[in-house]
Amino acid sequence: MNKPLPNDYSAWPDANGRFGEFGGRYVAETLMPLVLDLDAAYAAAKADEGFKAELGSLRTHYIGRPSALYFAERLTEVYGGAKIYLKREELNHTGSHKINNAVGQILLARRMGKTRIIAETGAGQHGVATATVCARFGLPCVVYMGATDVERQKPNVFRMNLLGAEVRPVTSGTATLKDAMNEAMRDWVTNVADTYYLIGTAAGPHPYPAMVRDFQAVIGQETKEQILAAEGRLPDAVVACIGGGSNAIGMFHPFLTDDGVRLIGVEAAGHGIETGAHAASLTGGRPGVLHGNRTYLLQSDDGQILDAHSISAGLDYPGIGPEHSFLHDVGRAEYISATDQEALAAFQQCAELEGIIPALEPAHALARLPEIAREVGKHGVVVLLMSGRGDKDVNAVAEHLGRRI
Amino acid sequence: MTTARIDARFAALKAQGRAGFVAYVMAGDPDAETALAILRGLPGAGADLIEVGFPFSDPMAEGPPVQRAAQRGLKAGMTLKGTLELIRRFREGDAETPVILMGYLNPLDTWGLEPFARAAAEAGVDGLIIVDCPPEEAGPLVAALEAADLSLIRLATPTTDDKRLPAVVKGTSGFVYYVSVAGVTGVKEADAAAVAPAVARVKAASGLPVAVGFGIKTPERAAEVARVADAVVVGSALVDEVAAGLEMNEDVTTRVLNKAAALAKGVRGAREGRKDGDG
Ligand SMILES: Cc1ncc(COP(=O)(O)O)c(C=O)c1O
């Protein structure tokens, strides 16, 4: 049927939710009818003017869009290469890009008549975004969060509680994001009649990767308009960090057919790729099946999923959204990595030079910026996606710097 | 496709006018040798078919008992290759009891579907249940298994509606597994009254025997389900015996086999005194 042209990278997924060989719907039979329903409901909503109007209004008045595209003069000066712009998703309501997706999906859940919302969260940003929209629309909310992450992201746990959500610490497996996702899937399969699973990244069974991407693509669409207005041209490169890949794909997707724009994703290299303690699925993993989709995964020779490691809870995931696996294999996007230490240094430098405290996640993208700016060179333009603010990370960073607060 | 051992077993059960008891155990739980001793003892304890779970790090459809069993298996070093070795050794002493492997796709995918299927057939496996591989994604797996004369046992669930059911059971062989609760293994309890019409529906659509599992923990509940289904699957209650044996420092094999015997008794006695055969 509607197989996209091989070189039109923006036309995927196909009707089966495939991005090339990646993606799909690898879920238990109990969930299969629900996933198909969701696909149909999302297709209908996407085509509905009322849905678009409601989403547009919430984006403007609740999230505070469009987010600024800011010329980072001092970073530009220090790196001595391309002009650097920051796409300021950290200025959104709740402090990250995660709210873009949460607002879109809560509207869909309401249209579908669902009365209970569940979510998984790593850094807690998606949990906070979900708890926020649930409060806004008066729906009960349960957030699964790895017990390890509950410890390192305490402020966000409290925020979710303030917003009326129940945070359930997950102790199974390795007690991080992947286990939180397992537990959310188990909840969904148990509460099929009333529950909507609001996945926080561009991964999971189809239609989630495409749907989350569409809700996040507002980032790239605005960036395109804003950079044309500011510079009269498209950027030479856009750079974003990669956890599950939702902020990055939101930026990349509107640029996929603009051949001159390099798309650069930065994975978390943890203690270093060579140590094995990292979260770089594309750099250090191979294709497999987890959480409903075929994608690159960190895994053993026997096909067991390995623990990821990153200083940043939001990047600490052994998989990646399937569209990134596709863009990696066809060579349209480039994927590099930054270590914990590099991210920490970039975190501090951005705070000191620009007066912006980034989240640890985009600090990974910031860490690779000096090389990219120099590669692109003096007359070029680079846009970095500042996916979230660092308030949630100040305790963890203080600890790493040996400071007590 | 030949599903000789499975078909022969269901034909024999039918002739005896009773439902079968399917025992689920986890490979390598708590270690390879004990798991082998349990496997070897199960037919004697009354298991008519055996499901062997192969451990996976992220068993999304399992409740706590089977999750913990998989963790114990992994900790003991069990792999998919090790699981086949276990079955090969079991087959040295048992050529009749059907063995179904149950687990998740990624370990098979890592091995390579075709070489895995050949190795599984050689080891004496009869069929597979792959929880995260719905019909829509099963094409490559079905092809690989068919080439090796193995069945892919399909799962039907309370959410599988009439529209979807024909696609779910299409081209399937051996038997169909009816998941009697919407949920993970070992948490909710199956409602025997709701199971009867569902079994009839799945049987009509597939023309195959129907085994019912998820949420059956006691001999009493097993007996209830055995009155309306062709086979009854119990897993969590058996792997919990491993956990209890370890905790209380008792012989794990004995505990599991005693539990299996009690469940088998429930299943076997379920239709006694009823003259209406197997319906
Ligand atoms: C600020 C921020 N950026 C990035 C991410 C990574 O997620 P994704 O790759 O889906 O954008 C997270 C996840 O929690 C986050 O909080």
Instruction: Show the CA angle centred on residue B244, arms to residues B240 and B246, nearest 5°.
Output: 115
A34 touches chain B (CB under 8 A): yes
Asked if residue A27 has pLDDT above 90, the reply is yes
- Taking the centre of ligand 1 as the mean of its atom positions, its distance from the CA of residue A64, in whole angstroms, is 19
pLDDT at A254: 98
Which chain B residue has the Cα nearest residue A181? B60
Q: Which fold has domain B4-268?
A: TIM Barrel (3.20.20)
Taking CA atoms only, the protein residue closest to ligand 1 atom 15 is A314
pLDDT at B45: 98
> A93: number of CA atoms within 13 Å, CB side?
20
Mean pLDDT of chain A: 96
pLDDT at A1: 45
- Ligand 1 contact, A244 CB (< 6 A): yes
Which chain A residue has the Cα nearest residue B108? A303
Asked if residue B205 has pLDDT above 90, the reply is yes
Min Cα distance B250 → chain A (Å) is: 25
Asked if residue B196 has pLDDT above 90, the reply is yes
pLDDT at A2: 55
Residues in B closer than 8 angstroms to A178, CB to CB, are: 58
pLDDT at A373: 98
Catalytic site residue from A83, A89, A96, A98:
A98
Asked if residue A125 has pLDDT above 80, the reply is yes
Q: What confidence tens digit (pLDDT) does each residue in A265-324 have?
A: 999 999 999 999 999 999 999 999 999 999 999 999 999 999 999 999 899 999 999 999
A182 touches chain B (CB under 8 A): yes
pLDDT at B273: 65
- Ligand 1 contact, A312 CB (< 6 A): no
- Ligand 1 contact, A124 CB (< 6 A): no
Q: Is the ipTM of this complex over 0.90?
A: yes
With an 8 Å Cβ cutoff, are B164 and A172 in contact? no
Asked if residue B277 has pLDDT above 60, the reply is no
Mean pLDDT calculated for residue range A71-82: 98
Q: What confidence tens digit (pLDDT) does each residue in A325-368 have?
A: 999 999 999 999 999 999 999 999 999 999 999 999 999 999 99
pLDDT at B278: 43
With an 8 Å Cβ cutoff, are A303 and B107 in contact? yes
Q: What confidence tens digit (pLDDT) does each residue in A226-276 have?
A: 999 999 999 999 999 999 999 999 999 999 999 999 999 999 999 999 999
d(CA A322, CA A324): 5
Between B178 and A4, name the one with better pLDDT: B178
Nearest to A16 by CA among B105, B164, B109, B136: B136
Confidence of residue B274 (pLDDT cuts 50, 70, 90): low
Residues in B closer than 8 angstroms to A302, CB to CB, are: 79-81, 107, 110
Cβ contact A265:A240 at 8 Å: yes
Residue A290 has its nearest CB partner, among B58, B67, B168, at B58
A33 touches chain B (CB under 8 A): yes
d(CA B34, CA B50): 16
Asked if residue A189 has pLDDT above 80, the reply is yes
Q: What confidence tens digit (pLDDT) does each residue in A131-187 have?
A: 999 999 999 999 999 998 998 788 899 999 999 999 999 998 778 899 999 999 999
Mean pLDDT calculated for residue range B141-165: 95
Mean pLDDT calculated for residue range B224-252: 97
Asked if residue B122 has pLDDT above 70, the reply is yes
pLDDT at B272: 83
**Which residues touch B120 (CB under 8 Å, ≥6 apart)?**
B84, B101, B128, B148, B150
A120 is catalytic: yes
With an 8 Å Cβ cutoff, are B134 and A29 in contact? yes
Q: What confidence tens digit (pLDDT) does each residue in B17-34 have?
A: 999 999 999 999 999 999
Gyration radius (Cα) of chain B, Å? 17
Cβ contact A9:A330 at 8 Å: yes
What is the phi-psi region of residue A213: left when phi exceeds 0, alpha when psi lies from -120 to 50, beta otherwise? alpha
Residues in A closer than 8 angstroms to B131, CB to CB, are: 28
- DSSP characters over B157-183: -TT--TTTHHHHHTT--S-EEEE-SSS
pLDDT at B267: 97
Residue B109 has its nearest CB partner, among A16, A190, A289, at A289
- Ligand 1 contact, A101 CB (< 6 A): no
Whether the CA torsion A50, A52, A55, A56 is positive or negative: it is negative
pLDDT at B275: 46
Taking CA atoms only, the protein residue closest to ligand 1 atom 4 is A361
Confidence of residue B279 (pLDDT cuts 50, 70, 90): very low
Asked if residue B1 has pLDDT above 90, the reply is no
Mean pLDDT calculated for residue range B50-76: 97
